[in-house]
């Protein structure tokens, strides 16, 4: 029996949109532990699949996106069992010994799950069909398929524009390549490394801008031989020896900074708030939002820095603060790529203008986030404009009008961001659809309500 107890995406998309709204709240107070990191959760399952033996994972994010990856791992031959809250156990097949999936691998809304598993399939003698929801069907897959083809995989079918559904035939002897991704993308890097695991040689990825390094860290933790060195001003080169024998190792998933971001900003913009966020991952390639909020004048105290499960984590004490607009440089984007929607909300409450530069990648996330953010802000009475790949938000110095309806475009982070806006705006803010929040943060509403958020 599948351990997935969520509503399948196709059913979800046929149900009426779940309109939700948030109203001005009293001070937010209390402690929360955000859910497990989504990136690490996907990777823990996938490396568990590629390891011979049993991998125990604790703190796994049980959001729709990750559950789709768990299903894909099952379809590729792993035994995947949910033992309790966030505690999952996998018996993997080992590199080179995966099974061909009998059905389409459906990743729902999850670009990360699809792209990482494409890497795994690309490096194995398997044929698999990949598909997802309406949002995922619009997202570019050639960025993954191109290097996989260079490694010997074959794309048998694809939809227009290189989108899914995709029928991918992998190879049993991936050619070791030296690849420089044309966009800063941890997903592209990870797909190439995962395909390279079954290569008889050495796979190299050179990134001009360093992106989140969870794949490299976890590969090393599972016993792969891999070297990471600096490259240029902001980049890294990763060299992976093919065909390692991965050893099972217990994984403890830290709290997701991309989910913590909502409480962090909400407590900053709602006057009188003081909260503690527990166990947030402090990996330097994920903390761009923290750095930006501090520059804007946020009051964030970092408490009890420690290492848990191989990642640095800390508790954060956050107090309400008056923010000022800042200039966010393009080179910071990879370390906060998923946090621009909620940063834009913080910017709306700041005094002065915030300029966020170099955001081309936001156009190809779960929605065109540049458009969704600026349209939503206009709905909330906040002036925002896009110039090229830059986003400019004119801050309202704490007095955001609200009173509009933001269109969420099947995008969980747009949905949560505009609900956070409503917690501090003069009039309530509504979103047209809250269903996608379950992809990354099923307990969002409950967690925020416990702090004092007013939703309806």
Alpha carbons 88 and 56: distance in angstroms, whole number: 6
Catalytic site includes residue 338: yes
Sign of CA dihedral 215, 218, 222, 224: positive
Residue 201 backbone class (left: φ over 0; alpha: ψ -120 to 50; beta: rest)? beta
Give the β-pairing of 251-252 and 53-58.
parallel
Contact with ligand S3P (CB under 6 A) among 146, 299, 361, 368: 361
**In the complex, what is the shortest distance from the CB of residue 228 to ligand S3P, in angstroms, rounded to a whole number?**
16
39 binds ligand S3P (CB under 6 A): yes
Sheet hosting strand 87-92, strand order edge to edge:
79-84, 87-92, 53-58, 251-252
Among the residue ranges 66-74, 146-154, 185-193, 339-347, the one whose residues contact ligand S3P (CB under 6 A): 185-193
> Binding string to ligand S3P for residues 142 to 181, with x set by CB under 6 A, is what?
----------------------------------------
Question: How many other β-carbons are positioned within 10 Å of the β-carbon of residue 433?
Answer: 20
> 447, 453, 454, 452: which is closest to 34 by C-alpha?
447
335 binds ligand S3P (CB under 6 A): no
> 51, 95, 49: which is closest to 72 by C-alpha?
49
- Pick 21 or 109: Cβ nearer ligand S3P: 109
Contact with ligand S3P (CB under 6 A) among 41, 171, 185, 203: 185
439 binds ligand S3P (CB under 6 A): no
Contact with ligand S3P (CB under 6 A) among 186, 249, 372, 431: 186
The strand pairing partners of 351, in sequence order, are 324
> Binding string to ligand S3P for residues 289 to 328, with x set by CB under 6 A, is what?
----------------------------------------
Alpha carbons 331 and 184: distance in angstroms, whole number: 10
112 binds ligand S3P (CB under 6 A): yes
379 binds ligand S3P (CB under 6 A): no
**In the complex, what is the shortest distance from the CB of residue 190 to ligand S3P, in angstroms, rounded to a whole number?**
6
Structural tokens at position 294: 């501090």
190 binds ligand S3P (CB under 6 A): yes
Q: How many residues bind ligand S3P (CB under 6 A)?
A: 11
The strand pairing partners of 168, in sequence order, are 128, 155
212 binds ligand S3P (CB under 6 A): yes
Helices (H) and strands (E) in the chain, counts: 13, 24
Sheet hosting strand 311-319, strand order edge to edge:
29-32, 274-281, 311-319, 299-308
Among the residue ranges 120-128, 182-190, 287-295, 367-375, the one whose residues contact ligand S3P (CB under 6 A): 182-190
Residue 430 backbone class (left: φ over 0; alpha: ψ -120 to 50; beta: rest)? beta
Contact with ligand S3P (CB under 6 A) among 51, 55, 187, 439: 187
Structural tokens at position 164: 């899914």
**In the complex, what is the shortest distance from the CB of residue 248 to ligand S3P, in angstroms, rounded to a whole number?**
22
Selecting among 65, 106, 213, 338, the annotated active-site residue is 338
Alpha carbons 170 and 200: distance in angstroms, whole number: 15
278 binds ligand S3P (CB under 6 A): no
Catalytic residues: 338
User: Where along the sequence are the contacts to ligand S3P (CB under 6 A)?
Assistant: 39, 112, 185-187, 190, 211-212, 337-338, 361
């Amino acid at each position: 029996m599948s351990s997935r107890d969520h509503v399948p995406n196709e059913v979800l998309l046929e149900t009426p949109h779940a309109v939700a709204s948030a109203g001005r709240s009293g001070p937010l107070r209390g402690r929360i532990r955000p859910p497990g990191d989504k990136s690490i959760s996907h990777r823990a399952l996938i490396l568990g699949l590629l390891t011979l033996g049993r991998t125990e994972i604790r703190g796994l994010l049980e959001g729709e996106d990750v559950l789709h990856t768990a299903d894909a791992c099952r379809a590729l031959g792993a035994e995947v069992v949910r033992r309790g809250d966030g505690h999952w156990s996998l018996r993997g097949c080992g590199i080179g010994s995966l099974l061909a999936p009998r059905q389409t691998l459906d990743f729902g809304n999850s670009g990360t799950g699809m792209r990482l598993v494409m890497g795994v399939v690309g490096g194995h003698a398997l044929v698999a069909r990949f598909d997802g929801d309406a949002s995922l069907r619009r997202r570019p897959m050639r960025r993954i398929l191109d290097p996989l083809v260079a490694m010997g995989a074959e794309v048998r079918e694809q939809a227009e524009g290189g989108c899914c559904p995709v029928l991918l035939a992998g190879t049993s002897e991936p050619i070791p390549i030296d690849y420089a991704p044309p966009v800063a993308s941890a997903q592209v890097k990870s797909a190439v490394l995962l395909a390279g695991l079954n290569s008889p040689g050495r796979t190299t990825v050179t990134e001009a801008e360093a992106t989140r390094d969870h794949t490299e860290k976890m590969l090393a933790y599972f016993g792969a031989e891999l070297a990471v060195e600096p490259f240029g001003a902001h980049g890294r080169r990763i060299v992976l020896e093919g065909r390692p024998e991965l050893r099972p190792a217990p994984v403890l998933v830290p709290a997701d900074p991309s989910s913590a971001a909502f409480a962090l900003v909400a407590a900053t913009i709602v006057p009188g708030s003081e909260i503690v966020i527990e166990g947030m991952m402090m990996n330097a390639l994920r903390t761009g939002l923290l750095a930006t909020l501090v520059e804007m004048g946020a009051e964030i105290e970092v408490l009890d820095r420690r290492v848990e499960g191989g990642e640095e984590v800390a508790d954060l004490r956050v107090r309400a603060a008056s923010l000022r607009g800042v200039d966010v440089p393009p080179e910071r984007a990879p370390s906060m790529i998923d946090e621009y929607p909620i940063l834009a909300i913080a910017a709306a409450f700041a005094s002065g203008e915030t300029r966020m530069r170099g955001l081309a990648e936001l156009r190809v996330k779960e929605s065109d986030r540049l458009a969704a953010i600026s349209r939503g802000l206009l709905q909330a009475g906040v002036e925002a404009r896009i110039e090229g790949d830059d986003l400019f938000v004119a801050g309202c110095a704490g007095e955001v009008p609200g009173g509009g309806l933001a269109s969420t475009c099947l995008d969980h982070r747009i949905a949560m961001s505009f609900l956070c806006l409503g917690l501090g705006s003069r009039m309530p803010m509504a979103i047209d659809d809250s269903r996608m929040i379950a992809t990354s943060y099923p307990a969002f509403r409950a967690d925020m309500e416990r702090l004092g958020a007013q939703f309806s």
